[in-house]
A = this chain, B = another copy of it.
Amino acid sequence: MTAATRPVGAPAKVGILAGMGPAAGVDFARLFLQASERWLQAHGLAVQDQAFPEHWMAQVPVADRSRALGDAKAPQPLDDMARVLEQLSAVGAKAVAIACNTAHAWHAALQARVPSVDLLHIASETAAELKRRGIGRAALLATQGTYGMGLYDAVMVREGIHCVLPEPSEREALMQGIYQGVKSGNMVLAQECFTRVGRSLRERHGDITLIMACTEIPLALPQAPQAEGWTLIDPAEILATALARRAYEGPSAH
């Protein structure tokens, strides 16, 4: 344990800003519990109800993120997200994770509006983890919004990781899998779209690591038989692990 480790039994309260979509929020909470359990076991502590950090998940039906980024006149999600982040701070959350990649377009604005919370960043956490694992090259599966703002580009470059982007038609297939697939409850269509793009990327780049950089993608792709043996990275899992570490070890647990 490091000096930053909090006294056992008093983890910090943390928050999850979610609902984008809601199934991804529930999956993020599950990943947070798994990460907390791993932390407890790694520190030789018993797994029991009272050993988990208090955590609040707000599942909020905010405006669509990709649409808001593509059209300034479309409904914008920032005010709703900021209201919820303030409420998470008010109930005591010290660190908050956003369970949506595209929503990170407003990460800086949200952090500026609610400086009282430590607002984690999914792409920074993911790039740092890829570097730790010695992965030098990966392909990004994401929304048009995430590609458009270059969410992963700068942080990947900073960590020395080459980021492969799909072709325009492949990006459209991903959007179809995300919206007409997962968000509409059609998992067969989602798997078909995601595996088609994955297969093309692997034809061009060999057994490349695929980053599932939209929280809807891990709800369908890893379960697809066609994806067996592929190297898949789930940024939500990395973010959930970072959130558990913040809860148990405090703000300096980076």
Which residues from chain B contact A64 at a C-beta distance below 8 Å?
A: 49-50
B183 touches A54 (CB 8 A): no
What are 10 A-B interface contacts by the 8 Å CB criterion? A19-B54, A26-B26, A29-B57, A49-B64, A49-B183, A50-B64, A53-B61, A55-B59, A56-B56, A87-B91
Measured CB to CB, the nearest residue on chain B to A41 is: B185
A51 touches B57 (CB 8 A): no
Query: Chain A, 55-94, contact with B by CB distance < 8 Å: what is the 0/1 string?
Result: 1111111111000000000000000000000010011000
The CA-CA distance from A70 to B232 in the complex, in Å, is: 48
Which residues from chain B contact A29 at a C-beta distance below 8 Å?
A: 25-26, 29, 57, 59
A49 touches B26 (CB 8 A): no
Instruction: Say whether A152 faces chain B, with CB atoms less than 8 Å apart.
Output: no
CB distance from A44 to the nearest CB of B (A): 14
Measured CB to CB, the nearest residue on chain B to A50 is: B61
